[in-house]
């Protein structure tokens, strides 16, 4: 799958929003947003995207596909299923959020030990969740052979996510962001989008001040 093909899938399902005013989890503001939740209900579309990741890594022969919960569970399942179709009998597991990062529970940690693991994620902005899962795989004795993501929208590098052998992204987007105090959209009075990101929480905090 080419990057333009993956980008077309995301755009056709309104997973890339432009000309809006969003607040990111980091607290920074921007005028565009990658809405991963818009693509997940589209079964055929998410399957095609995950096949693109599977095709890229099939020759690395991963035993396990791991991802952070919640949305990553879907990616892990689809990617592993396509690897099986391609002749690589991979299993699918997921890591759960804990206070200090992510952890593999439910016996999944035992599956990871001494196995080759591909870690997948939907959107990376700072790479925090991806890094935590990579580190958790290594804590359990697994060998990370690479990481695959739907979209790298923060210019994240392998060094920022615990240095996997490869950080592969189906799409790469550079979206401009600003600190809250310097946001030109706020200065121009552009309404904050409360349907995605942390816009609703931002407005609640503003009204409480």
Position 125 scores a pLDDT of 83
Position 47 scores a pLDDT of 98
What are the distances in angstroms from CA 29 to CA 15, 22, 85, 154, 176? 18, 6, 42, 13, 9
The residues of the chain scoring below 50 in pLDDT are none
How many whole angstroms separate alpha carbon 170 and alpha carbon 161? Answer: 17
What are the distances in angstroms from CA 110 to CA 93, 107, 143? 11, 6, 13
- Which domains are delineated in the chain? 3-198 (3.40.50.2020)
At residue 54's C-alpha, the angle toward residues 50 and 59, to 5°, is: 170
Nearest CA to 33 out of 42, 23, 41 is that of: 23
Identify the DSSP state of 40.
T
State the pTM of this model: 0.90
């Amino acid at each position: 799958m080419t990057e333009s093909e993956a980008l077309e899938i995301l755009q056709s399902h309104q997973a890339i929003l432009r000309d809006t005013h969003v607040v990111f989890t980091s607290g920074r503001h921007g005028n565009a947003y990658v809405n991963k939740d818009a693509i997940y209900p589209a079964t055929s579309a998410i399957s095609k995207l995950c096949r693109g990741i599977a095709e890229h890594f099939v020759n690395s022969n991963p035993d396990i596909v791991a991802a952070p919960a919640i949305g990553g569970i879907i990616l892990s399942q689809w990617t592993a299923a396509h690897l099986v179709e391609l002749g690589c009998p991979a299993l699918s597991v997921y890591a759960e959020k804990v206070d200090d990062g992510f952890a593999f529970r439910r016996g999944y940690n035992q599956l990871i030990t001494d196995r080759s693991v591909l870690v997948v994620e939907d959107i990376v902005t700072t790479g925090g969740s991806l890094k935590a899962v990579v580190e958790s795989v290594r804590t359990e004795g697994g060998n990370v052979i690479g990481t695959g993501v739907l979209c790298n929208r923060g210019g994240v590098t392998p060094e920022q996510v615990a240095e996997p052998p490869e950080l592969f992204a189906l799409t790469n987007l550079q979206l401009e962001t600003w600190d809250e105090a310097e946001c030109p959209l706020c200065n121009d009075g552009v309404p904050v989008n409360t349907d995605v990101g942390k816009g609703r929480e931002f407005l609640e905090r503003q009204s409480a001040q």
